[in-house]
């Protein structure tokens, strides 16, 4: 018997007239702020900390500040036009701070002067601004010349520029950077790219936690869940580490690691003594991607209960946390004092980077075990 199919006509859903739908870019272009590519490029450069670091190293500049020139006020604003290989850069300063420059500046609407007067003013302005050209040359911006110097009212075009302020020694410097050519931008980008990161000092002071791996053991989820404070885990500590507590004590080999599990970490082979570590190899960066002693077996044909799932448990001790600068200086033979003697250290039980319990080292006959002090909450999944 064939099944009958009933098709109901669907009424067209109401919607906007297609003729009234226009792209946002054409309909509301005037409402969206437009940022020219060169303006965005300049903004990135001025906000780059490497630029202020470059000026600090070259001229002992401090107090670097950059903002829009909307609030720029000047008693006698003056426009200095710089030329470099045909490329223009416009800078506005307050000539009231520089009386000598003010005396050579012409009014922006002044009638043309004689050629001799123009040449004289240009020569004097070039002499007065020569220290700026020398400073730019020191940075690597060479062949800069003064093209014009004139009094200039603060217009909307000037307020669209960037106000820059800093100090060289105790002398304040403030100006507005307006139009700037492609060649200037390219040169500034080249200088910034060659500058070392300004946060080297701060980053080098960041402290990275370290840990010492003294053993490992495979345990099922069910076994982990059954552990209670006071239980002792045997055969989890490396025999060489256990020999540290014999008489006479013998140094043991182990790995010391700095960094967080699951990320790139700094590894180094070390010799353990009861109260210190001595690095025996060169540090190297690596990911912890496998469990060294975990058995590899064929896939079972029958399902396995989750509670029987084996988990790799690493036995670790929190050791010395070191700043990045000191980590970069680690070499074979480097000695690190342990915060507490090894026999008194708190043990962490870690699986796949997550701490599942805490314990302490104890002697059980001739063996060294880990006595559980605290495990994850029984209500939490292990």
Give tens-digit pLDDT for 309-335: 888 999 999 888 898 888 888 888 888
DSSP-derived pairing of the beta strands 144-151 and 106-107? parallel
Distance CA 114, CA 371 (A): 97
> Is pLDDT above 90 for 73?
no
* CATH 3.40.1550 domain residues, the chain: 35-198
> Is pLDDT above 50 for 363?
yes
Residues in a beta bridge with 79 = 92, 150
Identify the three-state secondary structure at position 236: coil
State the pLDDT at residue 357.
92
Residue bearing the bigger pLDDT, 84 or 320:
84
| CA 256 to chain centroid | 25
Identify the three-state secondary structure at position 254: strand
Q: Mean pLDDT highest for which of 14-18, 123-127, 300-304?
A: 123-127
Which range, of 33-42, 76-85, 313-322, averages the lowest pLDDT?
33-42
* CATH 2.30.330.10 domain residues, the chain: 206-292+308-375
> Is pLDDT above 60 for 51?
yes
State the pLDDT at residue 19.
54
The tens digit of pLDDT for each residue in 202-212 reads 777 889 999 99
State the pLDDT at residue 300.
52
State the pLDDT at residue 112.
62
Per CATH, domain 206-292+308-375 is 2.30.330.10? yes
> Residue 321 contacts by C-beta under 8 Å, 6 or more apart in sequence?
207, 208, 209, 210
Residue 79 tokens, joined: 């426009």
CB 326 within 8 A of CB 228: no
Banded model confidence at residue 96, pLDDT cuts 50, 70, 90? very high
State the pLDDT at residue 70.
86
Number of Cβ within a 10 Å radius of residue 53: 19
CB 317 within 8 A of CB 214: yes
CB 42 within 8 A of CB 177: yes
Model-level pTM?
0.52
Banded model confidence at residue 90, pLDDT cuts 50, 70, 90? very high
> Is pLDDT above 60 for 101?
yes
Identify the three-state secondary structure at position 230: coil
State the pLDDT at residue 25.
44
Question: Which secondary structure element, helix H or strand E, spans residue 158, and what is its range?
Answer: helix 156-159
> Is pLDDT above 90 for 268?
yes
State the pLDDT at residue 120.
86
CB 162 within 8 A of CB 177: yes
| Mean pLDDT, rounded, of the chain | 81
> Is pLDDT above 80 for 192?
yes
Tell me the helices (H) and strands (E) count for the chain, helix number first: 12, 20
The tens digit of pLDDT for each residue in 277-306 reads 889 999 999 876 544 444 445 555 566 678
Residue 139 tokens, joined: 């940075």
State the pLDDT at residue 9.
42
Per CATH, the architecture of 35-198 is what? Answer: 3-Layer(aba) Sandwich (3.40)
Secondary-structure percent of the chain, ordered helix, strand, coil, rounded to 5: 30, 35, 35
> Is pLDDT above 60 for 88?
yes
- pLDDT (average), residues 160-170: 91
Buried b (16+ CB within 10 A) or exposed e, 270-300: bebbeebbebeeebeeeebeebeeeeeeeee
Apex CA 254: angle with CA 249 and CA 260, to 5°?
A: 140
Question: Which secondary structure element, helix H or strand E, spans residue 44, and what is its range?
Answer: helix 37-47
State the pLDDT at residue 381.
46
State the pLDDT at residue 287.
77
CB 50 within 8 A of CB 195: yes
CB 118 within 8 A of CB 110: no
Q: Which DSSP symbol is given to 70?
A: G
Number of Cβ within a 10 Å radius of residue 79: 21
Percentage above 90 pLDDT, the chain: 33
State the pLDDT at residue 134.
94
CB 122 within 8 A of CB 83: no
Which range, of 38-47, 173-182, 347-356, averages the lowest pLDDT?
38-47
Buried b (16+ CB within 10 A) or exposed e, 4-38: eeeeeeeeeeeeeeeeeeeeeeeeeeeeeeeeeee
Q: Which DSSP symbol is given to 96?
A: G
Distance CA 50, CA 72 (A): 25
> Is pLDDT above 80 for 178?
yes
State the pLDDT at residue 304.
65
Residue bearing the bigger pLDDT, 291 or 179:
179
State the pLDDT at residue 296.
46
Banded model confidence at residue 173, pLDDT cuts 50, 70, 90? very high
């Amino acid at each position: 018997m064939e099944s009958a199919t009933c098709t109901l006509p669907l009424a067209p859903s109401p919607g906007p007239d297609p003729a009234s739908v226009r792209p946002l870019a054409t309909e509301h272009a005037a409402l969206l702020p437009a940022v020219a590519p060169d303006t965005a490029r300049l903004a990135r450069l001025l906000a780059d900390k490497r630029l202020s670091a470059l000026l600090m190293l070259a001229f002992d500049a401090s107090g670097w500040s950059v903002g829009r020139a909307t609030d720029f006020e000047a008693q006698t604003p003056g426009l200095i036009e710089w030329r470099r290989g045909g490329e223009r850069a416009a800078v506005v300063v307050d000539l009231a701070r520089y009386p000598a420059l003010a005396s050579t500046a012409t009014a922006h609407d002044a009638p043309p002067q004689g050629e001799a007067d123009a040449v004289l003013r240009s020569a004097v302005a070039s002499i007065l601004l020569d220290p700026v050209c020398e400073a730019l040359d020191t940075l690597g911006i060479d062949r800069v010349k003064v093209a014009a110097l004139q009094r200039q009212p603060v217009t909307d075009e000037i307020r669209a520029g960037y106000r820059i302020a800093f100090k060289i020694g105790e002398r304040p410097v403030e100006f507005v950077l307006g139009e700037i050519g492609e060649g200037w931008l390219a040169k500034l980008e080249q200088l910034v790219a060659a500058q070392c990161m300004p946060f080297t000092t701060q980053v080098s002071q960041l402290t990275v936690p370290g840990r010492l791996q003294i053993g490992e053991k495979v345990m099922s989820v069910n076994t982990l869940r059954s552990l209670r404070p006071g239980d002792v885990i045997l055969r989890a500590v490396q025999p060489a580490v256990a020999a540290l507590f014999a008489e006479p004590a013998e140094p043991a080999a182990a790995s010391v690691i700095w960094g967080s599990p699951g990320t790139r970490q700094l590894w180094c082979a070390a010799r353990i003594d009861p109260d210190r570590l001595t690095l025996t190899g060169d540090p190297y960066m690596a990911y912890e991607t496998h469990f060294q002693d975990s058995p590899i077996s064929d896939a079972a044909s029958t399902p396995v209960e989750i509670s029987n799932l084996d988990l790799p448990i690493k036995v670790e001790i929190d050791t010395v946390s070191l700043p990045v600068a000191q980590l970069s200086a680690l070499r074979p033979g480097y000695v690190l004092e342990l915060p507490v003697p090894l026999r008194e250290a708190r043990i962490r039980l870690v699986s796949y980077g997550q701490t599942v319990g805490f314990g302490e080292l104890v002697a059980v006959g001739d063996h060294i075990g880990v006595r559980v002090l605290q495990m994850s909450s029984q209500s939490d999944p292990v």
